[in-house]
Amino acid sequence: MTDCGARRMSRAKLVVLGRDNCGKTALCVRFITKRFIGEYDHKKEVTYRCRKTVDKETIDLEILDTVNKACVSFIRGHFPSSLYATMEYLLWIWPTCAGAQVKMEECMGPASTSLESSIKWGDGFLIMYSVTDRSSFEAVSRLKRLIDHVKQTLGIPTVIVANKSDMENGRAVRTEEGQALARDLRCSFFEVSVAEGSSAVEAAFGQLIREVRLEFQRHLLAMDKRSRVLQMRHVLKNKLTRSKTMQW
């Protein structure tokens, strides 16, 4: 994840998650190139690499733009349409219901495993929805649960981004609903229009990078504490052995 020797974070892996068509690729491209390009290839999962400066510190980023279509088409292809919604819901909540002992692979095939491995790979997560698509909003908490389950811990750096705020006429999710959800899930929240500008997009990524750095510092502190305890144990053991030898 990082340059532990220098004790500062020089690299980070970020994962962009969300329902199809909410603007994940547009967001990544906007962040990296500052441009908005209307249409993209929706079939492929892409990892972008770029170098950014946040709070006057440079960081090399790998940003994984995920595609949910693989999972969705797998379910669509294998189950009757009446079962589709239920199966899709189960895909997201499965880890919570089934517990750690059942692998998602056994349940849903390789597509869901790839989502699981993308989550394992990431240091920080950006969960996106479109304010014009209620179902994309409803997927957010399921995705957050999936992250918590796969990472086996709470407090993984995660930012929620509501996109397409320029489409006021088609709005299906109010700003306050997004804010309330983010509060419940203890995530930062940004409402943006990737189409309209870069600054809110940069603010969202900037916040995620800050949180990832903070998590890294916490991790280092915990490691330091552990090594101090181990060192003390070693010194004590040596002293005890020496005093026993002298008694003899």
Residues that bind ligand GTP (CB under 6 A): 18, 20-26, 38-40, 42, 67-68, 163-164, 166-167, 193-195
Retrieve residue 198's tokens: 């870069």
- The nearer residue to ligand GTP, 171 or 219, going by C-beta atoms, is 171
We find the least distance from the C-beta atom of residue 126 to ligand GTP, in angstroms, to be 11
We find the least distance from the C-beta atom of residue 31 to ligand GTP, in angstroms, to be 12
Q: Hey, how many other C-beta atoms are within 10 angstroms of the C-beta on 161? A: 32
Residue position matching structure tokens 């899930």: 185
We find the least distance from the C-beta atom of residue 180 to ligand GTP, in angstroms, to be 22
- The nearer residue to ligand GTP, 7 or 42, going by C-beta atoms, is 42
Q: Give, in order, the Cα–Cα distances in Å from 64 to each of 124, 125, 178, 184, 221.
A: 11, 10, 23, 26, 28
- The nearer residue to ligand GTP, 5 or 38, going by C-beta atoms, is 38
Retrieve residue 185's tokens: 């899930």
In contact, 192 and 200? CB cutoff 8 Å: yes
Please report the beta strands in the chain, taking only residues with DSSP state E, as ranges in sequence order. 11-18, 46-54, 57-65, 124-130, 158-163, 188-191
We find the least distance from the C-beta atom of residue 115 to ligand GTP, in angstroms, to be 12
- The nearer residue to ligand GTP, 23 or 178, going by C-beta atoms, is 23
In contact, 39 and 29? CB cutoff 8 Å: no
Q: Give, in order, the Cα–Cα distances in Å from 87 to each of 19, 78, 97, 127, 164.
A: 15, 10, 13, 21, 28
- The nearer residue to ligand GTP, 68 or 158, going by C-beta atoms, is 68
Retrieve residue 131's tokens: 């304010």
- CA 2, CA 60: separation in Å to the nearest integer? 10
- The nearer residue to ligand GTP, 59 or 162, going by C-beta atoms, is 162
We find the least distance from the C-beta atom of residue 132 to ligand GTP, in angstroms, to be 8
We find the least distance from the C-beta atom of residue 129 to ligand GTP, in angstroms, to be 10
